[in-house]
Structure 1
């Protein structure tokens, strides 16, 4: 059983269509991630885990002209959309089909300078997250960074209620700003997208403080949380070295 077995291709299609409205401050998040990656000296490879339609991959390609980016995803719909949208980058971008929870993709011919992921790691349980952090630490080159933009679990119901309300507000505001109406916001609820309002077995967010500790435990340095809003956070660390 794969960690993403309950994710269906229609879910991918919905996210391609509505992701700009469903993700709070999506561009701000991508800008934050690219700003936290040191400019590589010479050619470098970066991995985008669960790349979706390639929005974060595109931000990496634009910010780091000497880098190649590998977009990994389980969904053929997502991989097809990413390959099409990023075709202008030629061989600087390629796709790879994978399952986040499996181990086979975690041995790389080239040690990446950065591993990033958006809205994917919360599909792993606590043990799976710790295994992922350990394996990414091992695969990164010295000085490489792991940056995650994801859902995190508030530790008490007051925090859950605030995350739920703020996520609803963000989607409604982005819907009105982008379309002049509330159709994407209505779709957000029709699809029961918010794990803070419609919990299901596919979503397993862990508390942010736990994850920062797991990153430190496997050896990451400069472990930090860089941004947070509506139950979404950006966090990560650096592999010690030059």
Structure 2
């Protein structure tokens, strides 16, 4: 497609670069599919079937195959060198644009990059990747709110998105965050010079960047559901003011 863009660690794997013209071959294996669902089976000893247990997902396995056509053999080898170094340390962004919403995932190498020199001016290649976080993400948001104006949240993904919330306030009695009727009550005092950060997916509280244990009395975390407006509010002690920034991304499976 004319508007297709695929990048790994910011480098384009489609289109023209100094080193040659890059083209995708075939489908991006594992990208459009769902990752494998998994659950711990718990058989009913005195009944039919099994107990219902949460469904989780395994790692997403991705294989990207492409071709590079260069103007000469030297440039072709430069392209091959770029290929073997892309994402070699892991935790790099793989991004696909031009097929509906732009989506990306953080990936690690799953095996060696394979190159095949077909002529002096073009080569075929294969890059095996693994996303240990199987979800794909799109547009990212940073939505502000405070004790008088809740943060207005919405995302266009297909599955719930877990936010990371930064809290700035000055309250010796802590504060309460509310989303979708579920409350996270933080009892640890907060100072204006040491903001709090709460990851709603992991339940980890950080104070001024350091992990803190035991700072929550109620931890009823809720994700941001797709396709519907929601509000997150903050309430603090009497007479005190607090503000929040809610960070999240469109989330897909």
Specify the TM-score bucket, using the shorter chain as the normaliser.
Answer: under 0.3
* TM-score of the aligned structures, taking structure 1 as reference length: 0.21
Question: Radius of gyration: which is bigger?
Answer: 2
* TM-score of the aligned structures, taking structure 2 as reference length: 0.21
From the two aligned structures, give the one with the greater helix fraction: 1
